[in-house]
Structure 1
């Protein structure tokens, strides 16, 4: 079974590899929505796959590294596309959250990406 927990974070960024005429090449902010999915068996003792509080405890310290930060200055996010942010988050969360199966990031109401690991 797969369960998920949602989060949000605010960050500023610019995409330096785009032409100056592209709107995302300029400094802008986003309210990102993050959905972290965990897949595993339902534990008979608790009746759940994982405690959502445990998911939050593993994810929130990682989000603290980018929430209200300028992403271009975060090591590994010098080109902070939504796709690169997803991989960056996965690499940090997967080491602490067994069963991580998917990360979905939305940068606004209409665009985002889903990452399921390498």
Structure 2
């Protein structure tokens, strides 16, 4: 079984490697939505895979690093494409959450990345 929890953060970024004239070369912002999936067996007594509050307590410090920040200033995110941001998030969550199965990062309501560590 798999559970998920949604998080959001507002951040600015620019893409330094796109061609001159590309609108994403300029600084701009997004309201990102992050969906974190955790896979596991239901606890026989509690009936859940994990407490949603525990999941929130793991993810919120990471969200705090991104929220209302210029993502380009974060170490490892100097080229903050949606794909690179997603991998960075995964790499920072996975050591804290062994049963993490995938994450989805929505840069806009209609565009995003799904990543499972591969």
Correspondence for 1:94: 94
Correspondence for 1:15: 15
Correspondence for 2:109: 109
Deviation at 1:32, TM superposition (A): 0.1
The alignment's TM-score, normalised by the length of structure 1, stands at 0.97
Correspondence for 2:2: 2
Correspondence for 1:76: 76
Is 1:42 matched up with 2:56? no
* Equivalent residue pairs, number: 118
- More helix by percentage: 2
The alignment's TM-score, normalised by the length of structure 2, stands at 0.97
The unaligned stretches of length 5 or more in structure 1 are none
Query: What are the superposed Cα offsets for residues 29-56 of structure 1, whole Å, 9 maximum, x if unpaired?
Result: 0000000000001111110111110110
Question: Where has structure 1 moved over 6 Å in runs of 4 or more?
Answer: none
Question: Alignment RMSD, CA only?
Answer: 0.7
The unaligned stretches of length 5 or more in structure 2 are none
